[in-house]
Amino acid sequence: EVTFLTHTSILTELSGPLCDAVIANPGSQRLLESLERSNLLLIPLDRQRRRYRCHHLLLELLRADLERNEPDLIVPLHDRAAAWFEAHDEPEKAIDHALAANDPDRAARVFGRIGQPAYAAGRIETLTRWVSWFEERRLLERFPHVAATWALKEALAGNGSNADIFAAAAAAGDPAALA
């Protein structure tokens, strides 16, 4: 139970299928139900008891334990979470876990699907976090659609000099990557 909770501590929300994918082992739903019945700080998020979350203090302890005792496992756990979220049409969570797994290809692929709609929906803080990740790693030319989306945002916000910087990064990238 402790290993299960530690390995799934990278998640903010738990479900049987998601946990099965992240830990690469079946039977998570039964374990979640058992943990909830045992009152181990697992909180159901729906009446069907299919989705749960850990109490935030427990989650912090579990994450610290994972970082301290099994740091090499963190990237594969995030990678499996990103794959699951992408396959289950939860793109924002897929990007967040892809970034945590240091997987720019997956993050950029998913960003390509939702970057513009996220901007249109006013998700500027989220987009800023994602684009900053690519910018800090000097990956904007490799993924020009990320730079182009941000160039458009900067231009529409009236930040011409920033728009020019991101547009130049997009222009320097492979044009085929924009398709």
Distance between CA 76 and CA 125 in Å, rounded? 27
Q: Which among 157, 156, 140 has a CA at the least distance from the CA of 148?
A: 140
Query: What share of residues in the chain are helix, strand, coil (percent, to 5)?
Result: 70, 5, 25
Quick check: 178 pLDDT over 70?
A: no
Q: Tokens at residue 81, please?
A: 């979470």
pLDDT value of position 159: 86
**What pTM was computed for the model?**
0.91
Quick check: 25 pLDDT over 90?
A: yes
H or E stretch at 69: helix 56-69
pLDDT value of position 179: 54
Distance between CA 94 and CA 92 in Å, rounded? 5
The owner of tokens 């912090």 is: 60
pLDDT tens-place string over residues 107-166: 999 999 999 999 999 999 999 999 999 999 999 999 999 999 999 999 998 989 989 999
Distance between CA 161 and CA 167 in Å, rounded? 10
Q: What are phi and psi of 26, to 5 degrees?
A: -80, 170
pLDDT tens-place string over residues 89-110: 999 999 999 999 999 999 999 9
Distance between CA 79 and CA 93 in Å, rounded? 11
pLDDT tens-place string over residues 37-65: 887 678 889 999 899 999 899 999 999 99
Distance between CA 179 and CA 177 in Å, rounded? 5
Half-sphere exposure of 121 (CA within 13 A, CB side): 10
